[in-house]
Structure 1
Amino acid sequence: MTRVAIDLHYLPSLEFFTAIDGAEELLLFPQDLYQRQSFLNRTRILLANKVETLSIPIQGRRPRIPMREVKIDYGQKWQAIHLRGIQSAYGKAPFFEYFFPYFQPILERQHSNLWDLNLQLLTICLKLLRRPVKITVLENKETIGEIVDLRGQIVPKGAFYNRSYYQATPYPQLFGLDFEPNLSILDLLFCVGPEAEKVLKQSLKKP
């Protein structure tokens, strides 16, 4: 069994899903520390005239605390902004009406912490990709057996093409003449639907 330790990103990128290709079990560590300038609370979508970063506001000064303790700031109307942005970006996408109802109720719910929100979204993404992956949440930092540890590897700093997981494989997008790679998994799901997993397989970076 391939066991992969990974950070819990918000609506993860295509690079995330190519990195965990072949994993039979994902190991998640809620006691790992929250990292600033990461994908833990941000994702990228394609609008008509630009790539937009959707960020979830975090309460407080973002000290180095365990992921499970990171609280979402609902004083800012981020849910409405994110839902409106997603609908504006993908409302006319071929598979939007089919897939959006899976995400909408999760994004409308007031999760008290970032961990629970991200975990629910990842579970839905894996289901829609039809990946039979077991998710295991480990409360301590020690693991038994051999694992592939990808924590801290997929970060905004540095480009995806300098890492070893994802290569840009164009698929039909709604906007622009040039293909925009490595967006949120939402872009792929809404644009190609059941072909999403096939595109991810084609996007695996060759050794």
Structure 2
Amino acid sequence: MTTVSIHQPGYLPWIGYFHKMMHSDVFVVLDDVQYERGGWQNRNRIKTDRGSSWLTVPVSAPYGAAINEVEVDNSQKWASTHRKSVDIHYSKCEFFRYWSKFIPCYENENKMLLDIDMETIKIFMNIFNINIKMLFSSELGITKKKSDLVLDICRSTGADTYISGAMGSDYLKLDDFEKYGISVKFQHVRHPKYRQRFGEFIPNLSALDLLLNEGPGAGRIIRDTKVEWK
């Protein structure tokens, strides 16, 4: 029995990203599809005293570029801005010390967006004790798109179960998956509440918000998150 999930790389992803990993045997990083402007590959949100706020990595991405071709625009000094923002708004959190694990990511001046995304993702995985097989779609040599791409990735990784995000129901051709004996589960996350500063709880932030507020309990909270599998 092999459960596979697939997702584009993201910058400081939300908890649903890691929930997928925790319930998978194989996680495929979809790095060779088209970069999505205004998506989650180069940005995420944290909580401030004025509500949620974006942390955005500036990039240079010609139209049609694949995610693994997108370069970071380090001329904008974004790294120091992100560090300062997290320092200001999370320094009084009980588990702020975990932020130190991410600091080297902001000192490297990575040229490629994929590198900064994967560095932060792997730090989260280590803290949350996620130990699964990880592959990059670019390693698999599959050139199809949308539902056919997902199906071929599942077949090439020996999947009998595929975990999709909730939006997958809009484009996945389920009859094709059934033909190859692959069960599809759609992940509808019921976002948990946890400790936050600055008033009313805001869901769907970067997992960094959960980590700095809950520390070693963050992984358990993600693993135990209630999900409707449809």
* TM-score bracket for the superposition, by shorter chain length: 0.7 to 0.9
Larger Rg: 2
Amino acid at match of 2:36: Q
In the alignment, structure 1 segments of 5+ residues that lack a partner are 155-162
Shift of 1:2: 1.5
Which residue number in structure 2 is paired with residue 72 of structure 1? Answer: 72
Counterpart in the other structure of 1:190: 212
1:76-130 superposed Cα distances (whole Å, 9 cap, x missing partner): 1211111111111211111111x11210111221111101111111111111001
SS of the residue corresponding to residue 131 of structure 1 reads coil
Q: How many residues align?
A: 196
Which structure ranks higher in relative contact order (CA pairs < 8 Å, sequence separation ≥ 6)? 1
- Deviations 1:1-40 (Å, cap 9, x if unpaired)? 2121111010001222233331122112322111112100
The one-letter amino acid of 2:217's match is E
Structure 2 counterpart SS, 1:54 = strand
Indicate the residue corresponding to 2:175 in structure 1: none
Distance 1:188 1:182, change over 3 A: same
| Structure 1 residue 138: Cα displacement | 3.2
Letter in 2 for 1:172: R
**Per residue, is there more helix in 1 or in 2?**
2
**1:92 matched to which residue of 2?**
92
**Distance 1:179-1:151 versus aligned 2 partners, 3 A rule:** closer
Matching of residues 45-124 of structure 1 within 5 Å: 45-60=46-61, 62-97=62-97, 99-124=98-123
1:166 maps to what in 2?
A: 189
The residue type equivalent to 2:70 in the other structure is V
AA of the residue aligned to 2:50? N
| TM-score normalised to structure 1 length | 0.86
> Does residue 32 of the first structure (1) align with residue 59 of the second (2)?
no
Structure 2 CA distance for partners of 1:92 and 1:74, relative to 1, 3 Å: same
Query: Contact 1:15–1:165 (CA<8 Å) still a contact in 2?
Result: no
- TM-score normalised by length of structure 2: 0.78
- Please list, as runs of the form range in 1=range in 2, the aligned pairs for 1:11-22 lying within 5 A after superposition: 11-22=12-23
Letter of the structure 2 residue corresponding to residue 80 of structure 1: S
**Any unmatched runs of 5+ in structure 2?**
143-151, 169-185
Identity %: 24
